[in-house]
């Protein structure tokens, strides 16, 4: 039986369908999870997709963090369940303190939408275990608030722990993020958040299928 | 009690919005402006007794601000 992957739906989510397709293309079974239901339906992994949850009011991800489903997602994450936050999902996971740091407005103050090269620095997370360190993924970014930040005193520890999992290749940083970070994990490696969109890079028709690797890495989870 | 919360980017945190405003002002002839920062203003009525300001500071820590990147100031305004 293939792993079942839950995809959280907030009011204002907009990338859930591509996340669903990515999960299917990885040979896994997708299932939507409604923000108001504190129920993960027994899934083996959770994706918090991109979009504009709750209109991004107040601060990106700030309101979504208190949705009933998020309490269950937090519990699941703390127990070691795989959780992937993409773009707005990454912002939500930072606000929920499941991931270190916070997302600031892009240093250009502009919305960026382009294909970037992302280097996989570590294969220690559930989502990058099928990748080789140093591997380069071509993924699209599309965001206004993607400049990941963590206080200087935390950075070296995160680096030493191997939590700065994904980095923009030289010259590809679209938002001014600290140390060119594109994605970070929690210490245990079961929660990963990233600004680029692997779910939009699963079909050769749109330029790259590199994103699929993060999803296929989930297959042994149900075993 | 009517309470006003002022939320600002923490000192040292990149504030591209403040920078953009700072760069725009000289175009209008305001050449002597520096150190511009753009934040957020939240005003709220809080009913009930107890330490309202402490309660609002807790709201700031939990929701209204992100203490990692923002500082906040609570003012009783009536």
Catalytic residues of A: 87, 197, 199
A15-41, pLDDT tens digit by residue?
A: 999 999 999 999 999 999 999 999 999
Q: How far is B24 from A22, CA to CA, in rounded Å?
A: 44
Contact A149 B63 (CB under 8 A): no
Question: Total structural domains in chain B?
Answer: 1
**Residue B14: per-residue pLDDT:** 85
Set of chain A residues whose Cβ sits within 8 Å of the Cβ of B68: 101-102, 149-151
Q: How many CB atoms lie within 10 A of CB A188?
A: 14
Label residue A221 by pLDDT band (50, 70, 90). Answer: low
Q: How far away is chain A from the Cα of B67, in angstroms, using its nearest Cα? A: 10
Instruction: Show the domain range for B70.
Output: 2-76
Q: How many CB atoms lie within 10 A of CB A18?
A: 22
Label residue A222 by pLDDT band (50, 70, 90). Answer: very low
**Residue A160: per-residue pLDDT:** 97
Check if the interface score ipTM surpasses 0.85. no
Contact A66 B63 (CB under 8 A): yes
Contact B68 A102 (CB under 8 A): yes
Q: What is the average pLDDT across A103-114?
A: 94
- Check which CATH number belongs to the domain holding B46 and give it: 3.30.1280.10
B45-73, pLDDT tens digit by residue?
A: 999 888 999 999 999 999 999 999 999 99
**Residue A116: per-residue pLDDT:** 98
A115-167, pLDDT tens digit by residue?
A: 999 999 999 999 999 999 999 999 999 999 999 999 999 999 999 999 999 99
All structural domains of chain A with their residue ranges: 4-222
Name the DSSP class of A2: P
H/E/C letters for each residue in chain B?
A: CEEEEEEEECCCCCCHHHHHHHHHHHHHCCCCCCCCCCCEEEEEECCCCCCHHHHHHHHHHHHHCCCCCEEEEEEECC
Contact B65, A58 (CB under 8 A): no
B66 touches chain A (CB under 8 A): yes
Whole-structure pTM value? 0.93
Q: How far is B18 from B23, CA to CA, in rounded Å?
A: 9
A149 touches chain B (CB under 8 A): yes
Q: Which fold has domain A4-222?
A: Rossmann fold (3.40.50)
**Residue A1: per-residue pLDDT:** 65
Q: What is the average pLDDT across A65-71?
A: 94
Q: How far away is chain B from the Cα of A103, in angstroms, using its nearest Cα? A: 9
Which residue, among B46, B22, B49, has the nearest Cα to B36 in the 3D structure? B22
A178 touches chain B (CB under 8 A): no
Name the DSSP class of A170: T
Q: How far is A64 from A10, CA to CA, in rounded Å?
A: 7
Q: Is the pLDDT score of A223 beyond 50? A: no
Token pair, residue A22, equals 């990515």
Residues 84-143 of A with CB under 8 A from B: 95, 101-102, 104-109
Is pLDDT larger for residue B12 or for residue A98?
Answer: A98
Q: How far is A101 from A95, CA to CA, in rounded Å?
A: 9
Which residue, among B16, B17, B5, B2, has the nearest Cα to B62 in the 3D structure? B5
Q: How far is A145 from A107, CA to CA, in rounded Å?
A: 9
Q: How many CB atoms lie within 10 A of CB B69?
A: 19
């Amino acid at each position: 039986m293939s792993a079942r992957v839950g995809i959280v739906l907030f009011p204002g989510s907009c990338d859930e369908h591509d996340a669903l397709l990515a999960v299917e293309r990885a040979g896994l079974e997708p299932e939507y999870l409604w923000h108001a239901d504190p129920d993960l339906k027994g899934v083996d992994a959770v994706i918090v997709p991109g979009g504009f949850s709750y209109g991004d009011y107040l601060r990106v991800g700030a309101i979504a963090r208190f949705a009933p489903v998020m309490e269950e997602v937090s519990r699941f994450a703390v127990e070691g369940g795989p959780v992937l936050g993409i773009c707005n999902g990454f912002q939500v996971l930072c606000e929920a303190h499941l991931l270190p740091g916070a997302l600031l407005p892009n240093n250009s103050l502009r919305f960026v939408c382009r294909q970037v090269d992302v280097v996989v620095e570590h294969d220690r997370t559930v989502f990058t275990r099928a990748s080789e360190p140093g591997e380069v993924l071509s993924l699209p970014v599309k965001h206004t608030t993607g400049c990941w930040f963590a206080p200087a005193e935390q950075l070296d520890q995160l680096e030493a722990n191997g939590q700065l999992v994904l980095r923009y290749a030289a010259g590809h940083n679209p938002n001014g993020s600290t140390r060119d970070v594109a994605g970070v994990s929690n210490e245990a490696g079961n929660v990963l958040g990233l600004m680029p969109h692997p779910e939009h890079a699963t079909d050769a028709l749109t330029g790259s299928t590199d994103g699929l690797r993060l999803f296929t890495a989930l297959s042994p989870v149900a075993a | 009690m009517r309470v006003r919360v002022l939320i600002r980017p923490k000192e040292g945190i990149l504030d591209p919005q403040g920078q953009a405003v700072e760069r725009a002002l000289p175009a209008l002839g305001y050449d002597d402006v520096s150190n511009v920062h753009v934040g957020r203003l939240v005003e709220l009525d809080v009913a009930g007794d107890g330490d309202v300001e402490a309660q609002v500071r807790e709201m700031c820590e939990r929701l209204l601000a992100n203490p990692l990147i923002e500082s906040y100031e609570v003012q009783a305004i009536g």
